[in-house]
Chains A and B, each alone.
Chain A
């Protein structure tokens, strides 16, 4: 418990630092007053506006105000859309979440058994084939794969729609396009593109860790104790591979959240990635600052979750050994 409390504290500090960067970007890249007012505003009016926006207050006070606003979900108004930034993020976020979840689940379902299998049957033909395919998965650029998939499944076969997000339905109080066939068919190809890279990385990591663990003395001893194969592989070996694997999965999934930009672009997916591209194009500072904080939050939370899983997996962390 002590370990987790310490981690939560660390995460809070990290988030405050990220917020500071977001605040500095917001405050000092360009003049917010200039961005708000037109050419004809007088100097006095500008000064009044500056005063009323609190831009003349001490910098720490402004930072505190920024953090308090962020905590309430208030990140200011987007320059280019003239709308609440948090509202726009809230609009786009579900689309990205469902894409990430779908590709994450797909890659885990495929990577874990494939990783274990290739770890156990190193020399088998199927294992070799899986490994060769995983190299392709890791090395093919996502835009190329996306275009290929569109060519095959949308243009030639005409099975799947080539762009956009499908119908949205509510289920169990959640609204998602994954609950309709149309939505699912739209999400399938972008999720597959995102999944393939994760799959390659996670599969190879699990395999490498399995090979490592299967060489250890406690696995040899488990064999010598007469334990059957499935027990040795799944109960003794797999659990011991998990700490590095969970770390990698956490980082991979967070980066999916933040940087699925290219895939979203290729499939015209209305998620966070296309929002970021737009914000960069328009120099939309409030949007960029909010995006920065959002990315920081995703990474921090996923690392916290990873840490919590460590504690569940490894008693040595629980007891502070090592």
Chain B
């Protein structure tokens, strides 16, 4: 417990701005030892990535370290010149970024990039560096390393790319590795493998690792000690097991409490929304479901995507993205649709509401008939009023040139749902209904945070008084605490308005919290579909079980963690 590799003392980082400096990190103390993984957790804007970048000497302009010190084995990195710092990068400190899809140069082969790094950092001739590059790829678990050296990044899967990125970061045999959200962009099953790889490299080479993440589950499974950050300040620190199971600070408790649990469904979501009776009445007017029959039914639904031709004159092949015998959603039911990326869940969701044309089969709405026969302008208008969608990315799904009140008023006016004079009042009430101040409608979307924008998206979907809502990864782009609020809002709306929902997500825990019934997708097929509770508690399908087992959980593996931190 002596060998301290890297240490920050009273570290202060500011971003000068013409309206006054913004301090991203206020006096942060941290220690990293060799052979230890230190977790740095916080929500977006907490300053956790900023600390990683500062240690690396790669703060984005105009940020600068304005106080304190960063010691790497006794050497203060802040005093170093740019050139001296550049010599440390790769050789003493390595870094891994979040998205393996974008951290590799798309125009260079993987072997060239790795050999380039090795030749430069270890001062080896190119031929020898290539030899070593193949060994390194092999060591991070890439099969057929020699052949794969000549391939380009786009020929690798996400998990394989992140392995390449790790090999690249380790090319100069650094002592300290900063991993900035290394698995956030990966599927859960791959995430576990990558974390295991980082763990094993850390132990083998007695490497110090700083693991920056927003995901408590990742910390719980990987880190030895954890630092919890908020608004650029240290909230709490300690061994991982202690921080997670006996947090001493309220913020840490809230953070852990807001993580949806995969273990059970909890009725603990706070409901911060002020209920206004009038708007609920308006929303329900004439649009409540009657009965509990199937609202929408898909039968023998497939979707093929064309793949490129192999030869010039050949016929193009196709790839079956979705192939399901049938799926139905009852009135007032929430069906969760889970699967890893590429499983076809979003395509299926979009086919269910007619955003994507199926290759064969059809979707039948009990109120509107088969989607394929909804042709006339009036029929399509009626369908679209009943069926609404909330997308994943609240940043790109709102028109940034329109004021929020206009965004909300447009569908009401288009469908003639209210008297012109009443619309402004309704828009205000809608905003209030989703937990925003009613007078914020005068602002533009960019003036809102991610969570607030998603609320606007929900308000927009509600503004036509829909019966059916497709939620396509509605919380994936949001911080956990906001995610919890969003789920609470959706569930509350669903209860009071009797909405039918199709909830698409890769996050099993989120799906568990909202769904009555869950369908699990793998490679375009539904492998299991049953009521949520039995599916999570006693999955019948092996794939479902694998997904549940590999999902990181904040509360799980505590024995393992306690064991490790005891060593």
Real complex partners, A and B?
A: yes
Interface residues of A (CB under 8 A from B): 2, 5-6, 216-218, 220-228, 231, 236, 239-240, 313-316, 319-321
Q: Is B312 an interface residue (CB 8 A)?
A: yes
Q: Does B58 contact A224, Cβ atoms closer than 8 Å?
A: yes
Given contacts A224-B169, A225-B168, A226-B121, whether A216 and B312 have CB atoms under 8 Å apart is no
* Interface residue stretch chosen among B101-109, B233-241, B259-267, B522-530: B101-109
- Cross-interface CB contact of B86 among A6, A228, A236, A315, cutoff 8 Å: A228
Q: Does B154 contact A321, Cβ atoms closer than 8 Å?
A: yes
Q: Does A217 contact B99, Cβ atoms closer than 8 Å?
A: yes
> CB-CB < 8 A to A319: which residues of B?
152, 154-155
> CB-CB < 8 A to A5: which residues of B?
312
Q: Does A217 contact B102, Cβ atoms closer than 8 Å?
A: yes
Q: Does A2 contact B309, Cβ atoms closer than 8 Å?
A: yes
Q: Does B103 contact A217, Cβ atoms closer than 8 Å?
A: yes
Q: Is B117 an interface residue (CB 8 A)?
A: yes
Complex Cα distance, B107 from A320, in Å, reads 14
Q: Does A313 contact B121, Cβ atoms closer than 8 Å?
A: no
* Interface residue stretch chosen among B89-97, B249-257, B352-360, B538-546: B89-97
> CB-CB < 8 A to B284: which residues of A?
none
Q: Does B107 contact A216, Cβ atoms closer than 8 Å?
A: no
Q: 22 pairs across A/B with beta carbons < 8 Å?
A: A2-B311, A217-B103, A221-B95, A221-B104, A222-B105, A224-B97, A224-B169, A225-B90, A225-B121, A225-B171, A226-B89, A226-B117, A226-B172, A227-B90, A228-B120, A231-B116, A240-B105, A240-B106, A313-B107, A316-B154, A319-B152, A320-B308
Q: Does A227 contact B120, Cβ atoms closer than 8 Å?
A: yes
A244 to chain B, nearest CB (A): 14
> CB-CB < 8 A to A227: which residues of B?
90, 116-117, 120
Secondary structure call for the B interface: loop
Given contacts A2-B309, A218-B104, 9 further A-B pairs with CB under 8 A are A217-B102, A218-B102, A222-B105, A225-B94, A226-B86, A226-B117, A240-B107, A321-B154, A321-B155
Interface 1/0s, chain B 109-138, versus A by CB < 8 A? 100000011001100000000000000000
- Cross-interface CB contact of B97 among A2, A220, A236, cutoff 8 Å: A220
Q: Does A223 contact B58, Cβ atoms closer than 8 Å?
A: yes
- Cross-interface CB contact of A226 among B102, B103, B105, B120, cutoff 8 Å: B120
A224 to chain B, nearest CB (A): 4
> CB-CB < 8 A to B97: which residues of A?
217, 220-221, 224
Complex Cα distance, B292 from A19, in Å, reads 66
Complex Cα distance, B311 from A113, in Å, reads 40
Interface size bracket, B side: 35 or more
Complex Cα distance, B152 from A314, in Å, reads 10
Q: Is B56 an interface residue (CB 8 A)?
A: yes
> CB-CB < 8 A to A321: which residues of B?
154-155
The 5 tightest CB contacts between A and B, nearest first, are: A226-B90, A224-B95, A226-B89, A217-B102, A320-B308
Secondary structure call for the A interface: helix
Q: Is B165 an interface residue (CB 8 A)?
A: yes
Q: Does A236 contact B105, Cβ atoms closer than 8 Å?
A: yes
Interface residues of B (CB under 8 A from A): 56, 58, 86-91, 94-95, 97-99, 102-109, 116-117, 120-121, 152, 154-155, 165, 168-169, 171-172, 308-309, 311-312
> CB-CB < 8 A to B169: which residues of A?
224-225
Complex Cα distance, B117 from A225, in Å, reads 7
Q: Does B58 contact A316, Cβ atoms closer than 8 Å?
A: no
A227 to chain B, nearest CB (A): 7
Complex Cα distance, B107 from A204, in Å, reads 23
Complex Cα distance, B97 from A57, in Å, reads 70
> CB-CB < 8 A to B89: which residues of A?
223-226
Complex Cα distance, B56 from A320, in Å, reads 37
> CB-CB < 8 A to B106: which residues of A?
218, 240, 314-316
A64 to chain B, nearest CB (A): 25
For the A-B complex, the count of residue pairs with Cβ-Cβ distances under 8 Å equals 86
- Cross-interface CB contact of B103 among A221, A314, A315, cutoff 8 Å: A221
Q: Does A315 contact B107, Cβ atoms closer than 8 Å?
A: yes
Closest to A219 in B: B105
> CB-CB < 8 A to A236: which residues of B?
105, 108
Complex Cα distance, B108 from A240, in Å, reads 10
Q: Does B154 contact A315, Cβ atoms closer than 8 Å?
A: yes
Complex Cα distance, B88 from A218, in Å, reads 19
Q: Does B152 contact A316, Cβ atoms closer than 8 Å?
A: yes
- Cross-interface CB contact of A224 among B94, B152, B309, B312, cutoff 8 Å: B94
> CB-CB < 8 A to B56: which residues of A?
224
B197 to chain A, nearest CB (A): 18
Closest to A4 in B: B312
Complex Cα distance, B121 from A315, in Å, reads 27
A193 to chain B, nearest CB (A): 35
Closest to A9 in B: B312
> CB-CB < 8 A to B308: which residues of A?
320
Closest to B112 in A: A235
A215 to chain B, nearest CB (A): 9
> CB-CB < 8 A to B312: which residues of A?
2, 5-6
> CB-CB < 8 A to B117: which residues of A?
225-227
Which of B56, B87, B103, B152 gathers most chain A CB within 10 Å?
B103
A165 to chain B, nearest CB (A): 42
Complex Cα distance, B103 from A224, in Å, reads 11
Which of A225, A239, A240 gathers most chain B CB within 10 Å?
A225
Complex Cα distance, B104 from A240, in Å, reads 12
- Cross-interface CB contact of B105 among A2, A6, A218, cutoff 8 Å: A218
Closest to A313 in B: B107
> CB-CB < 8 A to B168: which residues of A?
221, 225
A286 to chain B, nearest CB (A): 37
A218 to chain B, nearest CB (A): 5
B115 to chain A, nearest CB (A): 12
Complex Cα distance, B155 from A316, in Å, reads 9
Complex Cα distance, B155 from A214, in Å, reads 23
> CB-CB < 8 A to A222: which residues of B?
105
> CB-CB < 8 A to A226: which residues of B?
86-91, 117, 120-121, 172
Closest to A318 in B: B152
Complex Cα distance, B169 from A225, in Å, reads 6
Closest to A229 in B: B86
> CB-CB < 8 A to B94: which residues of A?
224-225
Complex Cα distance, B108 from A5, in Å, reads 24
A8 to chain B, nearest CB (A): 11
Complex Cα distance, B89 from A321, in Å, reads 33
Complex Cα distance, B253 from A31, in Å, reads 90
Complex Cα distance, B309 from A139, in Å, reads 46
- Cross-interface CB contact of B107 among A6, A217, A239, cutoff 8 Å: A239
A29 to chain B, nearest CB (A): 39
Closest to B95 in A: A224
- Cross-interface CB contact of A220 among B58, B90, B120, cutoff 8 Å: B58
Complex Cα distance, B86 from A231, in Å, reads 13
Complex Cα distance, B106 from A218, in Å, reads 8
Which of A227, A239, A240, A314 gathers most chain B CB within 10 Å?
A227
Which of B102, B105, B120, B169 gathers most chain A CB within 10 Å?
B105
- Cross-interface CB contact of B102 among A6, A216, A314, cutoff 8 Å: A216
> CB-CB < 8 A to B90: which residues of A?
224-227
Complex Cα distance, B107 from A313, in Å, reads 7
Closest to B56 in A: A224
Complex Cα distance, B108 from A203, in Å, reads 25
> CB-CB < 8 A to A6: which residues of B?
312
> CB-CB < 8 A to B120: which residues of A?
226-228, 231
B466 to chain A, nearest CB (A): 35
A274 to chain B, nearest CB (A): 43
B173 to chain A, nearest CB (A): 11
